[in-house]
Amino acid sequence: MQFKLDGEEFIPLQSLLKASGLTGSGGAAKAAIVGGEVKVDGETELRRGKKIRAGQVVSYAGEEITVLA
């Protein structure tokens, strides 16, 4: 799956999970991140406010999101 930033420099990790449809709500995204279920560029990420920029890959629940500029 791909996610386009639409002119923005970054998107917070929690917002990306919600906007991409991988989680149904911000609360579900927060729980997944804090629970260690989300990876950014192959590394577990526990910060829900982590700035995700173009070129990064987020993995969750068997899905991968490639972020585009």
Entry pTM: 0.93
CA distance 6 to 43: 25
CA distance 67 to 31: 22
Residues with Cβ < 8 Å from 46, sequence gap 6 or more? Answer: 33, 34, 36
pLDDT digits (tens), the chain, 69 positions: 999 999 999 999 999 999 999 999 999 999 999 999 999 999 999 999 999 999 999 999 999 999 999
Return the CATH fold of 2-68.
3.10.290
Query: What residues does each domain of the chain span?
Result: 2-68
Q: Are 16 and 58 in contact (CB under 8 A)?
A: yes
